[in-house]
Amino acid sequence: MRFIKMHGLGNDFVVVQAEEVVSDPEELARRVCDRHFGIGADGLVFILPSAKADLRMRIFNPDGSEAEMCGNAIRCVAKYAFESGLVRRPELKVETGAGIIRPRLRFEVSRVKEVEVDMGEPVLEREQIPMAGPPGRVVDESLTVYGKTFRITAVSFGNPHCVIFLPDVSSVDPSIIGPKIEHHPAFPRRTNVEFVQVLTPDRIRVRVWERGAGETLACGTGACAAVVAGVLNGLCGREAWVELPGGELFIVWAEDNHVYMTGPAAEVFRGEWPEG
Tell me which residues are annotated as active site: 70, 219
Q: Where would I find the beta strands (DSSP E) of the chain? A: 2-8, 11-17, 44-48, 55-60, 66-67, 94-96, 99-108, 111-118, 141-145, 148-156, 160-165, 192-200, 203-210, 214-216, 239-244, 247-253, 259-263, 266-272
Where are the alpha helices (H) located in 25-111, listed in sequence order? 25-33, 71-83
The contacts of residue 77 (CB under 8 Å, 6+ apart) are 15, 45, 47, 55, 57, 94, 103
Give CA–CA dist 145/122, Å, rounded.
25
Q: What are phi and psi of 2, to 5 degrees?
A: -80, 145
State CA 15 to chain mean position distance: 15
Helix, strand or coil for residue 221? helix
Q: Report DSSP state, residue 123.
A: B
Q: Please, what is the Cα angle at 242 between 90 and 58, to 5 degrees?
A: 50
Considering only the C-alpha atoms of the chain, give the largest distance between any 2 of them, rounded to a whole number of Å.
55
The contacts of residue 200 (CB under 8 Å, 6+ apart) are none
Give CA–CA dist 172/235, Å, rounded.
20
